Amino acid sequence: MQPFRIEIPQADVEYLHDRLASARWPGELPCVEWARGVPLGYLKDLAGYWRTRYDWRAAEAQLNQHPQFISEIDGQRIHFLHVKSGQPGAKPLLITHGFPSSVAEFLHLIEPLVNPADGQAFHVVAPSLPGYAFSSPLSATGWALGRTALAWAELMRRLGYQRYGVHGGDIGAGVSGMVAGLDGEHVIGVHVVTDPLTAAATATFLPGMAGRLDGSDPVDKLILDRMDAFTKEGSGYLAIQSSRPQTIGYGLADSPLLQLAWIAEKVHEWTDLPVDRDQMLTTVSLYWFTGTGASAAHTLYEQAHSSDWGVPPAVPQGFAVFGADETVRKLVPAPDGAHWTEFSRGRHFPAMEAPAQLATDLQAFFGPLQ
C-alpha cells in the first residue's frame, strides 16, 4: 500500500476553465424545463460557477485532510480513504459510493463517524470503485459487483481488520451486500440506504416483479407507475452506459459540459433536500480531472451483462429508507428482525443530503453488534 495525495496539475485546472469559457451551447425549446434534460439556464449558471467561483484547490485540500492510499488488488489500482478514530471501541466500517458519485459524497459523513460527540465511533475505509476517480485506469473487463466485493474483502484483510461492518447505497449497496455474503466470517453486519424511487427502479430489473403486483391495489399501482416512469423516462442514462459505454465515453472525456450535465441531472432528480453545490462539483471535478466518465460507464455495462448477484448475507442487516413511503416495504427484501429506519426527507444521496441522520442510524445499527 502506498500513501497517496491528490495533486491535480495547475495546467489541468486552467484547461478546464478555458474549455468552460469557450463552450458551445445548444438551443432550447420553450417551456420544456426539466422534461427533456438539464435546462439551458440552469447549466449555464452552474458551469459559470464551476469556472469562476468554485475553488478546486480548497476541495483538494479538504480531501487531502483524510489519509489516502493506493493498493493493487486483482490487477486493479484501488484508491481509498482510511480515516482512523482515536476513540476507544471504534469499529471498522467499509463504506462504498455508487453512481454517479465518488468518495467526495462522504465528506460530511466521515467526521461524525470517526469523532462522534457520543455513541459508536468508527475507523472509516472508503474506496473509490474500480474505474472511478483515482481507482483508474480500469485494468480489464469483468469488474462487476462480485469482483469488486472480493477486492473489498481483500482490502480489509490487508488493513488487518478481522471484523468489520459494511455500508453503501446504489451500486455501493450491491457491493456491500455481496461483501457480506462472500466474507460473512469477518463481516459483523451490512447496512444499506434506499428510497422509494430507487427501490422502484431496481424492481424493473427483477424478473416477474410486475406480475407479482396487483394494479387494483393503491400501493401496488403506485409502484407499477413508478416502474413504468423509470423505464420510459428515467433510464436513458443507464441504457446507453450499459450498452454503449465507449461511445458515450468520448463525450464524457472530452466535454466538461457533458460531464457536468450527466451528474447534475441525477443529483437534481434524485434528491429532495439541498445538496452543497461545491460538494457536488468536487465529484464532477474528480470525474473530469481523472477522465473516468468512460470507465465508470464500463462498470455499469459489466453489471448489466453479469449473472453474478452473490449470495444472500447471513449477517445482521440494516436498512435506512429516505423519503420513505408505503411502497418500500414491498420492494426491499428485508429479513424478519432487520434494523429498519424510515426518514421522511432525503433520497438517493443521504450522505450529502442528511449526513447527521445517516451517521446516527449507522451508530444505532452497528453499535450493539460485536
Residue 170 annotated among the catalytic residues of the structure: yes
Helical (H) or strand (E) element with 349: none
Cα 102 from Cα 292, distance rounded (Å): 11
Q: Can you say how many angstroms the Cα of residue 325 is from the centroid of all Cα atoms in its chain? A: 22
- CB hemisphere CA count around 146 (13 angstroms): 13
* Contacts of 152 by beta carbon, 8 Å cutoff, 6+ apart: 94, 96, 127, 166, 175, 179
Cα 21 from Cα 60, distance rounded (Å): 22
Residue 348 annotated among the catalytic residues of the structure: yes
* Residue among 170, 195, 278, 361 flagged as catalytic: 170
Position of cell 455474503? 181
Q: Which of 190, 229, 201 is nearest to 319 (CA)?
A: 190
For 179-213, give one letter per residue: b (16+ CB within 10 A) or e: bbbbbeebbbbbbbbbbbbbbbbbbbeeeebbeeb
* Contacts of 339 by beta carbon, 8 Å cutoff, 6+ apart: 191, 316, 317, 318, 319, 364, 365
Could you tell me which residues are beta bridge partners of residue 79?
70
* Residue among 123, 167, 339, 348 flagged as catalytic: 348
CB-CB contact of 187 with 312 (8 Å): no
Per-residue 3-state assignment (H helix, E strand, C coil) for 196-222:
HHHHHHHHCCCCCCHHHCCCCCHHHHH
Cα 157 from Cα 221, distance rounded (Å): 46
Residue 115's alpha-carbon distances to 19, 88, 110, 369, in angstroms, are 40, 11, 8, 19
Residue 301 annotated among the catalytic residues of the structure: yes
* Residue among 108, 237, 301, 339 flagged as catalytic: 301
- For residue 19, with 0-12 CB atoms within 10 Å meaning exposed, 13-18 middle and 19 or more buried, which class applies? middle
Catalytically active residues, by annotation = 170, 301, 348
